[in-house]
Homo-oligomer: A and B are copies of this chain.
Amino acid sequence: GLANRGAPRWRILQRDWSIRVSVLHRVTPPDSGYAAMSPKITGELLRQLRQAMRNCKYFSEPIQAYIVPSGDAHQSEYIAPCDCRREFICGFNGSAGTAIVTEQHAAMWTDGRYFLQASQQMDNNWTLMKMGLKETPSQEDWLISILPENSKVGVDPWIIAADQWKNMSKALTGAGHSLVAVQDNLIDAVWMERPERPSTQLRALGLDYTGMTWQDKITVLRAKMTERKITWFVATALDEIAWLFNLRGADIEYNPVFFAYAIVGMNTIRLFVDLKRLYDPALRNHLQLDSPSKPELSIHTFPYESVYTELQAICAALSPKDKVWICDKASCALTQVIPKAHRTPIPYTPLCLAKAVKNATEIQGMKMAHIKDAVALCELFAWLEKEIPKGTVTEISAADKAEELRSQQRDFVGLSFPTISSVGPNGAIIHYRPLPETNRTLSMNEVYLIDSGAQYVDGTTDVTRTVHFGTPSAFEKECFTYVLKGHIAVSAAVFPNGTKGHLLDSFARAALWDSGLDYLHGTGHGVGCFLNVHEGPCGISYKTFADEPLEAGMIVSDEPGYYEDGSFGIRIENVVLVIPTKPKYNYRNRGSLTFEPLTLVPIQVKMMNTELLTQKEVRNIQWNYPT
């Protein structure tokens, strides 16, 4: 869909999976009286923004329209408060949306998940553009229909991806207008109390957590570059940089990353980061900043902001045959620094691909994390069983209890995403998160769905269980059992090496389809190891074709569901590890793969209609959850 244009491919994987996408930008904690549902008053802000649009201090000529995408300069899925510019200007704080302001108009495009929320959060200065409806114009068409001839449309080139820029520019140019890069962000210019860019303490991870030194990762990266005759690689994705240097930060909530860029050549390594963060002697030692073992493994550090000028300097010195790798979804600003003849855009960087295949140490860490996580959730369910009859447990307090129990586990760092804790009808809202005004009390009479996860230093978890503390209805059990059958069908699938995850998506749906049911999200996403809970380049979804083949060592989620509007929601999610398997034959020596569940949280037997299960499915459940 349109909403996904410009997102990195693996984000598209996650977007269509789309369970938690609306809950990304939590700035106000849910228990502090979240009042986002009254519209933000934007008249004065818009006046100031329009003044900035006319002000030749920012651009040599007045601009007639200004585009405000969501997102940061790294195309992150979750963003820091200082990057919530679209929310600041229009009030709408959902995860997906683009605002455009002209002299006369202000419009904001978002998709069906957010029509209600956006209409409540935006005041009358704004027109809500409902994406996916036939009558809604695209941003390009709308601009073309309202702009005076020969208009300039401005955008911050750092927060628009190169391919998005290209499409928008082509459409505008075709209609006699032009898309122009405004280097200073005009929202920042009018945002008086804009938060600082976070600069949290960095944590160095040793070999016992990473299984591979950053030096070896650099060496492997360079080997890939040599193989493809690439002389430079520009890393822009925050999780790739964190993975490469075996460092973690806390700059973005739920994501243990830090704001940085890296440029790796065949003999040099440049790291762009707030230099204050590197004063710590232990960190300096980890990065060998003061005594590099070899010159080609010496890291040159630069301020975060100087990536642009440094890349310019590198590009000025390129030889005719030099080629530079950059992700095709990187920012327009950085991409365009590289002369076209030298630029080699790639859908997935070698770091993205390498990071996805976990090594033995990472797998061991993920297993440990899942053991701890299962302990915490078992404690939660035991506590719920005891407390629910008292009528005092709410969606929010259950989520808080889950966090409290997880936080008691060793090496706990924080949650890996905002907990979806939902009872009865709230469970049917796929991207629900409990707010004080929607908070329901858990009871013996309704289905409870909890989708939650944590960051531990040794691994990241993400698990959904659907339980009933009284007696589930026959229909609830029936639906749960179809979902379980789909969950098992994926989990137990045997498939050839080289198979892409999207080919497994229908396995998760067959039992539901047989009864005329379905769910409107993907089935799985890649999971990082003490990194982002959503990562590329693999996944299991009907919507994408651009995922990379599954490989042994990759870790994905398996999470089919069923949602009965106004009544209940069901989802069963495990994190599973891709492992080799040896079936009876081995066609063309391709080898076969299957999944090993990492998640150990029990699945409630009370919710199953065992008559609908085959012998094989029952054996699968008994094997994975021995009683």
Contact between B507 and A505, CB atoms less than 8 A apart: no
Q: Which residue of B lies closest to A592 (CB)?
A: B516
Interface check A545, CB cutoff 8 A: yes
**Minimum C-beta distance from A97 to chain B (A):** 25
Within 8 A of B (CB), among A561-588: 582-588
Instruction: List the one stretch of A296-304, A346-354, A491-499 in contact with chain B.
Output: A491-499
How far does the alpha carbon of A619 sit from the alpha carbon of B368 in the complex, in Å? 47
Q: Which of B495, B504, B516, B585 contacts A587, CB < 8 Å?
A: B516
| Most B CB within 10 A of own CB, among A507, A513, A545, A592 | A513
- A582 cross-chain contacts in B, Cβ below 8 A: 516
Contact yes or no, B506 A590, CB < 8 A: no
Is B590 touching A518 in the complex (CB atoms < 8 A)?
Answer: yes
Q: How near does chain B come to A538, taking the closest CB pair, in angstroms? A: 16
- Cα distance A300–B542 in the bound complex, in angstroms: 46
A510 at interface, CB cutoff 8 A: yes
| Residues on the B chain within 8 Å of A507, using CB | 506, 510
State the CA gap A592–B517 with chains docked (Å): 9
Report how far A39 CA is from B585 CA in the complex, Å: 40
Whether A514 sits at the interface, judged by CB under 8 Å, is yes
Q: Which of B494, B495, B506, B592 sits near A503, CB closer than 8 Å? A: B506
Q: Which residue of B lies closest to A505 (CB)?
A: B503
Asked if residues A515 and B583 are in contact (CB atoms below 8 Å), the reply is yes
**Shortest CB distance A186–B (Å):** 33
A518 touches B583 (CB 8 A): no
**Complex contacts, A503 vs chain B, CB 8 Å:** 505-506, 542
Q: How far is the CB of A152 from chain B (nearest CB, A)?
A: 22
Report A359 CB to chain B, min CB distance, Å. Answer: 26
* B514/A494 in contact, CB under 8 A: yes
Does B493 contact A513, Cβ atoms closer than 8 Å?
yes
Count the A residues whose beta carbon is within 8 Å of the partner chain — how many? 27
Q: Which residue of B has the minimal Cβ distance to A341?
A: B174
Neighbouring B residues of A496 by C-beta, 8 Å: 513, 516, 518
State how many angstroms separate the Cβ of A619 from the closest Cβ of chain B.
14
Instruction: Say how far A554's CB is from chain B's closest CB, in angstroms.
Output: 18
Given contacts A503-B505, A505-B503, A542-B503, contact A586 B516 (CB under 8 A): yes
Which single member of B494, B517, B542, B583 contacts A585 (CB below 8 Å)? B517
> Complex formed: what's the CA distance from A495 to B514 in Å?
7
Contacts A505-B503, A518-B590, A587-B518 hold; do A513 and B495 have CB atoms under 8 A apart? yes
Chain B CB count within 10 A is highest, among A507, A590, A592, for A592
With A504-B506, A506-B506, A507-B510: A515-B590 Cβ-Cβ less than 8 Å: no
Q: Is the CB of B545 within 8 A of A513?
A: no
Residues of B within 8 Å of A585, CB to CB, are: 515-517
Hey, which chain B residues are within 8 Å of A514, CB to CB? 494, 583
Chain B residue, CB-CB nearest to A489: B510
Q: How far, in whole Å, are A495 and B510 apart by their CA atoms in the complex? A: 8
Residues of B within 8 A of A584 (CB): 515-516
Which A505-550 residues have C-beta < 8 A from chain B? 505-507, 510, 513-518, 542, 545
Shortest C-beta distance, A323 to chain B (Å), equals 14
What's the least CB distance linking A609 to chain B, in Å? 13
Task: Give min CB distance, A9 to chain B, whole Å.
Answer: 13
Distance of A586 Cα from B512 Cα, bound (Å): 11
Other CB < 8 Å A-B pairs besides A495-B506, A503-B506, 14 of them?
A: A493-B510, A493-B513, A494-B514, A496-B518, A503-B542, A507-B510, A513-B592, A516-B584, A516-B585, A516-B586, A516-B587, A517-B587, A518-B590, A545-B545
CB pairs A–B below 8 angstroms (26 shown): A494-B513, A494-B514, A495-B513, A496-B516, A496-B518, A503-B505, A503-B506, A503-B542, A504-B506, A506-B506, A507-B510, A513-B583, A513-B592, A514-B583, A515-B584, A516-B583, A516-B584, A516-B585, A516-B586, A516-B587, A516-B592, A517-B585, A517-B587, A518-B587, A518-B590, A545-B545
Which 4 residue pairs are nearest across A and B when measured between Cβ atoms?
A: A516-B583, A545-B545, A516-B585, A515-B584
